[in-house]
Structure 1
Amino acid sequence: MGSPLVLVDVDGVLNPFRKPHRQFRRHRVMPEGRLLRVLLDVRHGRMLLDLAAETGAELVWATYWQDEANEWIGPRIGLPELPFVPLPPFPGIEEGRSFGAWKARHVAAWTGGRPFVWFEDEPDAAASLAAEPGVGDHLLVGVDPVTGLTAEHIEEAAAWLSGR
């Protein structure tokens, strides 16, 4: 079945909606030629690498940034190039499904039944993920998009991965 996965979203998780403390630095990035400003905390890279090393998990981007995260986010927080969940263009709200539900469908399919932890800020992703057929054992760690990823989120993920 393979090692467990640690799926990482960018916006709202690594890039919170506002600067929660002074460790975050503003960066100007240009994915697909569009100028964006992101807030990143370089300590997140080490936290995620340590989590993966200590639990035998594989880090994966699960973000609309997809491979662009390898160019614009990863190097700024000390992450190597990571695989990513491919996401097709978001069609908009379909049949009452939100962005979180739409994304959960693609995450569930991509993980192929492997166990995973997912750091995600979309509030309805957890329920949507659990309803997907064939989804493996998983923990969705809900991250407040105002504060972003914290040490407590990493500890929750480590405890779940270690207890499997």
Structure 2
Amino acid sequence: MLLDVDGVLNPLRRVHRGYRRHRATPQGVTFKLWLDIAHGRLLRRLITETGAELVWASYWCENANEWIGPRIGLPHLPHVPIPDRPPDSGLSLGAWKARQVSVWAGHRPFVWFEDEPDVIDCLMSEQGIGEHLLVAVDPLVGLTEEHVDRARDWLTGLGGTGDGATGAG
């Protein structure tokens, strides 16, 4: 399971009282974050129920383990290495991230909680990518129980019919 930070765990606005304001200063740059400890509980339960591995898929990379995970109760997680996007790449930030995710995941099946709208088309154009479900998250609202339920349903059905479906939603 791939997990983005900004727009997913850190929505653009405080959605309800469970969110708390935090400051993070990775590499000397200060960010203001809205984080909800309930996300950690939801994601840990999803890991337990499905046996899936949780991985950061965010421009925060390893910094998410210091600044995000402990604040919502997640353990140290592996991360998709996402290097800075070269200015001459011709790709948007979402497309660049999707390319890095597809290289990292290869043929392995995955669920990705992501808010960038252009990653759907980018994933569809990647060759040799495994079965996947992109769970599109509204960046104003962030991750919800419905998103987690969708991921659980897909992951538990992965060994069942195996119809190879991919999608977003």
TM-score, normalised on structure 2?
0.91
Distance in 1 between the 2:51 and 2:23 partners?
33
Give the partner amino acid of 2:15: P
- Counterparts in 2 of 1:145 and 1:98: CA distance versus 1, 3 Å: same
Q: Is the 8 A contact 1:116 1:136 kept in 2?
A: yes
Per the alignment, in what secondary structure is the counterpart of residue 154 of structure 1? Answer: helix
Give the partner amino acid of 1:158: R
Per the alignment, in what secondary structure is the counterpart of residue 133 of structure 2? Answer: strand
Q: Give unmatched runs, 5+ long, in structure 1.
A: 1-5
**C-alpha deviation, 1:93, in angstroms:** 6.9
**C-alpha deviation, 1:92, in angstroms:** 3.9
1:103 is aligned to 2:97: yes
Per the alignment, in what secondary structure is the counterpart of residue 130 of structure 1? Answer: helix
Give the partner amino acid of 1:140: L
Provide the aligned C-alpha RMSD in A: 1.0
Q: Is the 8 A contact 1:115 1:136 kept in 2?
A: yes
Q: Deviations over 1:49-96 (max 9, x none)?
A: 11111111000000000000000000000000000000111224733x
Q: After the TM superposition, list the runs of 4 or more consecutive aligned residues in structure 1 that deviate by more than 6 angstroms.
A: none
Identity level (%): 60
Give 2:71's aligned residue.
Answer: 76
Range 106-115 or range 70-79, more displaced: 106-115
Distance in 2 between the 1:20 and 1:110 partners?
32
* Structure of higher RCO (CA pairs closer than 8 Å, 6+ residues apart): 1
Give the partner amino acid of 2:70: P
**C-alpha deviation, 1:102, in angstroms:** 1.1
TM-score, normalised on structure 1?
0.93
